[in-house]
Structure 1
Amino acid sequence: MAVEIGQKCTREMLVTEKNVVSSMSDTIKFDVLATPYLVALMEESCAFNIQPCLDAGYVSVGFHVDIYHTGATPIGMKVFVDSEVTEIDGRKVTFSVSARDENGDVGFGTHERFIVNLERFAKKQAEKA
């Protein structure tokens, strides 16, 4: 199966004490979803979107994120991220991402991933260590 423009995926996450701004900062005490966790969920949605389409031994790695975090989501509420493949250029796949919670929109943007051979990627990383 090949990656196709228009294919979609949705992932969700419950906001807890572990993924809020307060857990990342000693000075900012907001108990709402921290932006890095929103970005991580967006990346996860994109990775899950295309992984079933990749040949054995291949994975995708993120290399560009451009998002807006437009709404605060409190502890106890779920966040949902939708990803859609919008462009394929060789091994580069571009996604549109949007996030919402139970009360409305909380973010949107684009994300890009490269499809790589896992063994070669791991070897290059081991050489750096």
Structure 2
Amino acid sequence: MTEKVVFTQTVTEEMLAVNVGSGSLRVLATPTVCALFEKAAVQLAQQFLPEDQTTVGCSISVEHTAPTPLGMQVTITAEMTAHEGRNFSFELMAEDEAGVCASGTHSRVAVSSEHFQQKADAKAK
């Protein structure tokens, strides 16, 4: 099992701030960066869990320090910094073709997939 996940994504129209609703510019949106960070952390944490469990995000702190334009590649890295019981912690980094554009930390908690979904569904009744 690895304690680091890295993947590269090309910035597309639906990832832009103007289309996500987080701003008026045609640059990679901060909410999209957060989603990419969570995607990497989910992939990493899942390696340490049985099939009937997943993780849910409980905190994220992100500094989005440079703009990334449409069509540019962004590389996302999540590195596990702690795994204690049900709790997972991660250091996160996003690098575009010009350098680091965002960084942060993220925490997730392991849960039973079925039980957690049932709990959420019960709220709608």
Task: Structure 1 unaligned segments of length 5 or more: list them.
Answer: none
Identify the residue that residue 15 of structure 2 maps to in structure 1. 19
TM-score, with length taken from structure 2: 0.92
The 5 A counterparts of 1:37-76 are: 37-76=32-71
Indicate conservation of the 8 Å contact 1:11/1:41, yes or no.
no
Indicate conservation of the 8 Å contact 1:11/1:44, yes or no.
no
Indicate conservation of the 8 Å contact 1:12/1:41, yes or no.
no
Identify the residue that residue 105 of structure 1 maps to in structure 2. 100
Q: For 1:17-60, what per-residue CA distance to the aligned partner results, in whole angstroms no more than 9, with x for missing partners?
A: 1111111349x431110000000000000001121221120001
Q: Percent identity?
A: 35
Q: For 1:58-114, what per-residue CA distance to the aligned partner results, in whole angstroms no more than 9, with x for missing partners?
A: 001111001100110000001111011101222010000011011100011100000
Runs of 4+ in structure 1 deviating by more than 2 angstroms, as ranges, are: none
In 2: Cα distance, 1:52 partner to 1:87 partner: 14
TM-score, with length taken from structure 1: 0.89
In 1: Cα distance, 2:90 partner to 2:21 partner: 30
SS in 1 for 2:47: helix
Match of 1:87 among 82, 86, 106: 82
Identify the residue that residue 34 of structure 1 maps to in structure 2. 29
Q: CA RMSD in A?
A: 1.6
In 2: Cα distance, 1:48 partner to 1:128 partner: 28
Identify the residue that residue 119 of structure 2 maps to in structure 1. 124
| Matched length | 124
